[in-house]
Amino acid sequence: MHGSMMNYPLTLARILEHAHRIHGDKGVTACSSGSPEPKHRYTYAEFYCRVRRLANVLVQLGIRPGDRVATYAANTYQHLELYYAIPCIGAVLHPLNVRLAAAQLAEIVREAEDKLIFVDGRFASRFEGLQKEIGCLPSIFFRGSGSPEQASDSDEYEALIAAADETDAWDIRDENWAMGLCYTSGTSGEPRGVLYTHRSMFLHTMAVNQADVFGFTEADVVMPFVPMFHAMAWGVPYAALFAGADLVLPGGAKPARIAHLIAETGVTVAAGVPAVWGQAYPELRSRAQDSASLRQIIVGGEAMPPRLIEAYEQELGVEVRHAWGMTEMSPTGTLSMLRRAHQNLSEAEKWKVKAMQGRPVPGVEIRLAEVTGLQTAPTVSADSSSAELPWDGETIGELQVRSPWTVSRYYKTEPTAEHFTADGWLRTGDIATINAEGYVQIVDRAKALIRSGGESISSVALETALMAHPQVLNAAVLGVPDEKWGERPVAVVVCEPDEAEIKPAQLKARLAKQFPKFWIPDRFIFVDEIPQTGVGKSDKREIRKRVLELS
C-alpha cells in the first residue's frame, strides 16, 4: 500500500527558490579571478534574478534538456550562476578541470559531447590550447574579474545577461534527470565521468547540512577553496545556499592569502584539500587575530596529516572536519567527528580519531570485502571465506559503498565487475579497516599499495608517519620495481624550511619503531616540493616518473 504524501520532486530549482525567498538578503562575496581582493558582493535575491536571465540566455542559445554545457573557470560568481542556471533548465553542468593537459581534457570534452562552453577570461590563453584540440566548440567568455557594473562591451556573458528577460525558464520534469557531470581527478587512473541527478544532489545537500557533517547554518560564511571543478566543489555551492549561509568565492586566490580573505569577509567555515591547509597554516598562525572568525575547516581528497590536525585544533582553535569521499559519491562518504564517548580521551588520542576517515554520513552504507591476494602487515583477515569482513579496526579489505548519491555506472559505460559488485555496491578501490564504532581508516588505494615479496605495504601509513616528524613538511612513498622483491618502497621527502638537515638513518630509525623491517623504504630522496595533481593531491604518477628517471 502506498502512503499518501506528496510526490515532491527533489530538484536544484527548489534549493535556488528557497535561497531566494527565505535568504534573499544573504549573498555572495566574490574575488576577482586571479586577484585575492574581494571585488563583488551581491545578495541571493540579485543572484536569483541573474540566474533566471542566464537560464533564458541558455534556452535562446538552443540548449535543451539533457545537453551538456561545460565550464572552464575558477571559483567566481559567474561560475556559481552557471552551477544553478544550467541544471535548472534541465541541461547538464560539466565543470572542466582547467589544470588538466589540453589533450586529456579534449578527450573528456569529446566523450561528454559538450554543446557549449563558458570560459573564465583569466584562462583565455590556456583555453586556446584546448580549443586547438577540440576544434570549433561554441564558447562564451566572461571576465573573471570585477563586478557586472564594471563589465566592458567585450564581455559577452554580461551582454547576453543584460539582453535576456527574467521569465521562468526552469524545465526539470523528473528528479532523476541528470544535473551535472564530473570526471574523477585521475590520481590513479584515467578520469571517469560521473553523471549526477537532481535527486542525488538534493539528497547529498540535505545530508551534508546535518549537524554532524558539514553542518552549515544561516549564521555561517562559507568559503569553498576546493575548485568548483573538483567533485562539484564537494556540494558546498548547493549546501550553503540551502542553509542560507553567505558564500565567499576565492577566485584564483592562493592558499597563503586565505588569512587575508577571512579577515576581509569573516569566513567561518572553509573547505579544501590538505595541501591547501598546509600552505595556509603559517599565514593563519601569524595573523591569528585577523582570522578569528574561522571556526571550522572541512578537509578531504587525501588523508589529513595528524600533525596538521593538531596544529589547526590546538594552535588556531579551528575544528577540523576530516571527510573521505569520491567524485563517484557526490562526493561525501564518511566524516570523522568525535563521539560523546571520546570526551575523556587525551588530546593526542582525539587527534588520532580525527585523522581517521570517519563514520559514514547518514544515508551512506559501507562494508569491507576481501581482496584476493591481499596480505597486509601487520594483520591479515582470519576468516578468508566470509564475503564481508569484520569491523575490528584491524582486518584490511576493500571498502565498498552504496547510497542515494553514489554512482551506479560510469558515464557512457556499462557497470563492470572491476567497479561494481553483483549486488550493486561501488568498489571504491580504497583499502581500509573499519573499527567497531564504524570509523573507517584508509590504508591505501589498492593501486598504490606496494607489493614487496608477496606482502603489501601501505604508502599512506608510511607517509603519515614521516609527516609526523617535526622536520618533515611533506612526504610521498611509492613502490619502485625491484628484481628480488617485485617492488620496494622509496620515500620522497620535503623538509621544513629553516630546519636542520635530516639524515635518512634518522627517518629509518623512526619508522622502525612503528613498522616491520621490510616496510622501511630503501631510499629517501630529498626534494624541494612534491608535484601535485590538478586538484592539489600528491601526483604519484608524476613522482614515480621522476623517481624512475633518477634511478
At residue 116, the 3 state secondary structure works out as strand
**Residue 300 C-beta: closest distance to ligand ADP, Å:** 4
- Residue 231 as a binder of ligand ADP (CB under 6 A): the answer is yes
**Residue 357 C-beta: closest distance to ligand ADP, Å:** 5
Kindly tell me which residue out of 87, 146, 250, 325 binds ligand ADP, with binding defined by CB under 6 A. Answer: 325
d(CA 276, CA 117): 28
d(CA 442, CA 399): 9
Please count the residues of the chain: 551
- Residue 300 as a binder of ligand ADP (CB under 6 A): the answer is yes
* Torsion sign (Cα): 56, 62, 64, 67: negative
- Residue 426 as a binder of ligand ADP (CB under 6 A): the answer is no
- Residue 227 as a binder of ligand ADP (CB under 6 A): the answer is no
At residue 393, the 3 state secondary structure works out as coil
When the beta carbons of 328 and 370 are compared against ligand ADP, the nearer one is 328
- Residue 326 as a binder of ligand ADP (CB under 6 A): the answer is yes
- Residue 398 as a binder of ligand ADP (CB under 6 A): the answer is no
When the beta carbons of 142 and 281 are compared against ligand ADP, the nearer one is 281
* CB-CB neighbours of 521 under 10 Å: 26
Strand order in the sheet with 319-325: 38-43, 27-31, 246-249, 221-224, 269-272, 296-299, 319-325, 332-336, 359-360
Kindly tell me which residue out of 186, 251, 305, 306 binds ligand ADP, with binding defined by CB under 6 A. Answer: 186
**Residue 306 C-beta: closest distance to ligand ADP, Å:** 12
Joined together, the cell numbers standing for residue 414 give: 556499462
Of 83-91, 317-325, 431-439, 465-473, which segment contacts ligand ADP by CB under 6 A? 317-325
Angular region, 438: left φ>0, alpha ψ -120 to 50, beta rest? left
Give whole-number Cα distances, 526 to 388, 502, 523, 541, in Å: 41, 9, 10, 18
- Residue 187 as a binder of ligand ADP (CB under 6 A): the answer is yes
For residues 403 and 365, is the Cβ–Cβ distance under 8 A?
A: yes
All residues at 6 or more sequence positions from 545 whose CB lies less than 8 Å from its CB, including other chains: none
Q: Are strands 27-31 and 38-43 parallel, antiparallel or unpaired?
A: antiparallel
Contacts to ligand ADP from residues 120-179, by CB under 6 A: none
All residues at 6 or more sequence positions from 189 whose CB lies less than 8 Å from its CB, including other chains: 447
When the beta carbons of 32 and 456 are compared against ligand ADP, the nearer one is 456
For residues 71 and 96, is the Cβ–Cβ distance under 8 A?
A: yes
Joined together, the cell numbers standing for residue 442 give: 584508509
Of 93-101, 167-175, 180-188, 238-246, which segment contacts ligand ADP by CB under 6 A? 180-188
When the beta carbons of 177 and 324 are compared against ligand ADP, the nearer one is 324
- Residue 301 as a binder of ligand ADP (CB under 6 A): the answer is yes
**Residue 423 C-beta: closest distance to ligand ADP, Å:** 20
**Residue 107 C-beta: closest distance to ligand ADP, Å:** 15
- Residue 283 as a binder of ligand ADP (CB under 6 A): the answer is no
- At position 417, the amino acid (one-letter code) is A
When the beta carbons of 30 and 276 are compared against ligand ADP, the nearer one is 276
- Residue 441 as a binder of ligand ADP (CB under 6 A): the answer is no
Kindly tell me which residue out of 56, 291, 327, 474 binds ligand ADP, with binding defined by CB under 6 A. Answer: 327
- Residue 428 as a binder of ligand ADP (CB under 6 A): the answer is yes
**Residue 208 C-beta: closest distance to ligand ADP, Å:** 14
Of 21-29, 134-142, 426-434, 495-503, which segment contacts ligand ADP by CB under 6 A? 426-434
Element (H, E) at 56: helix 44-60
Contacts to ligand ADP from residues 339-368, by CB under 6 A: 357
- The DSSP code sequence of 248-283 is EE-BT--GGGHHHHHHHH---EEEE-HHHHHHHHHH
When the beta carbons of 63 and 320 are compared against ligand ADP, the nearer one is 320
Strand order in the sheet with 365-369: 365-369, 397-402, 426-434, 440-445
Task: Catalog residues that contact ligand ADP under the rule CB under 6 A.
Answer: 184-188, 231, 300-303, 322, 324-327, 331, 357, 428-430, 442, 445, 535, 537
